[in-house]
């Protein structure tokens, strides 16, 4: 199962942090084995959020304090390079994914060659194979394409089972990709408006039932956890503690978004 997170509002709706949160919750709550793969270029946020949370093939945690240098030779780039030298894509993927502690979630480091035309061409050719092989290794592969409208994004969407469209309450742009629309559910991220009101506006705009739209509020504690690289620990603490009403309310929004996505993917939740 491949679930893609896509956005038409760059840096306005928390696409990457939404993906990490939903993938982590799916693992924690439903014991699903998940893989997260970043096909976009927001490398810094991914590094920051996993720098202290990855179990690195038994290596000591201190290795993560050195600018993530351990991962320089692992990830998407290495998968592409290794595939030129040997067969067995599933095994190559497995060698390049790292477990996030306290979850059954695995992370594939992003490309350092993203800006090059050669990388994009290679990804267009290889990514459908990677998505297919990853299905053998996990229950769900979550793929981040940020706000891409290029050929690579269209290739990813074409091979996705579900597309989570992350939108901003201030920028509900139209999109005319019919394949995307048919597979889509919506998250209105970093919202300050009342949930039902903004969901109703989005339902009318995109001609979708409100059951296919979720709202994730703009909550300071969450934004701080994203900035400080504490997404996993924040979720873990909020799930297991009812003492902080606002944190609990926010995590309930994440729960609702997760269940909406999993239902679209065919899970009975």
Q: CATH code at 97?
A: 3.40.50.300
Could you tell me the two tokens for 143? 């793929």
Q: How many CA atoms lie within 13 A of 44 on its CB side?
A: 2
Give residues with Cβ within 8 angstroms of 235, minimum separation 6.
Answer: 21, 24, 25, 28, 251, 254
Domain residues for the domain of 159 are 2-264
pLDDT of amino acid 185:
95
Count of domains observed in the chain? 1
The per-residue pLDDT of the chain, averaged, comes to 82
Residue 205's SS3 state is helix
Q: Return the ∠ at Cα 182 (arms to 18 and 119), rounded to 5°.
A: 60
CA 76, CA 220: separation in Å to the nearest integer?
33
**pLDDT tens profile 117-169:** 777 788 888 999 999 999 999 999 999 986 667 788 888 999 999 999 998 88
- Report the pLDDT value the prediction gives residue 48, as an integer from 0 to 100: 58
Give tens-digit pLDDT for 49-94. Answer: 554 555 544 443 433 333 444 555 788 889 999 999 999 999 999 9
In a domain, 172, yes or no: yes
Measured between alpha carbons, how far is 90 from 238 in angstroms, rounded to an integer? Answer: 35
Residue 269 lies in a domain: no
pLDDT score of 264: 97
- Residue 65 belongs to a domain: yes
Q: How confident is the model at residue 43 (pLDDT cuts 50, 70, 90)?
A: low
Residues 6 or more apart in contact with residue 64 via CB below 8 angstroms: 51, 52, 54, 56, 70
Percent of the chain predicted with pLDDT > 70? 82
Spatial distance between the Cα atoms of 162 and 1, rounded to a whole number of angstroms = 8
């Amino acid at each position: 199962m491949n679930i893609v997170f896509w956005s038409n509002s760059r840096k306005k709706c928390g696409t990457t942090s939404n993906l990490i949160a939903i993938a982590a919750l799916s693992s924690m709550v439903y014991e699903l084995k998940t893989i997260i793969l970043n096909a976009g270029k927001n490398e810094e946020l991914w590094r920051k959020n996993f720098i202290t949370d990855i179990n690195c093939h038994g290596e000591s945690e201190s290795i993560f304090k050195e600018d993530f240098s351990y991962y320089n030779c692992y990830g998407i780039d290495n998968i592409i390079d290794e595939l030129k030298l040997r067969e067995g894509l599933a095994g190559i993927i497995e060698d390049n994914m790292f477990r996030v502690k306290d979850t059954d979630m695995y992370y594939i480091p992003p490309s350092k060659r993203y800006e090059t035309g050669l990388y994009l061409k290679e990804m267009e050719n290889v990514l459908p194979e990677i998505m297919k092989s990853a299905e053998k290794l996990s229950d769900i592969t979550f793929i981040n394409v940020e706000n891409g409208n290029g050929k690579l994004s269209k290739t990813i969407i074409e091979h996705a089972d579900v597309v989570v469209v992350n939108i901003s309450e201030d920028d509900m742009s139209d999109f005319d990709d019919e394949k995307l629309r048919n597979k889509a559910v919506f998250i209105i991220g970093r919202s300050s408006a009342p949930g039902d009101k903004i969901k109703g506006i989005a339902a009318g705009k995109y001609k979708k039932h409100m059951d296919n739209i979720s709202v994730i509020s703009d909550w300071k504690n969450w934004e701080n956890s994203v900035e400080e690289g504490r997404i996993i620990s924040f979720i873990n603490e909020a799930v297991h503690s009812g003492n902080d009403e606002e944190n609990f309310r926010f995590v309930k929004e994440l729960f609702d978004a997760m269940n909406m996505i999993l239902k679209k993917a065919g899970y009975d939740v």
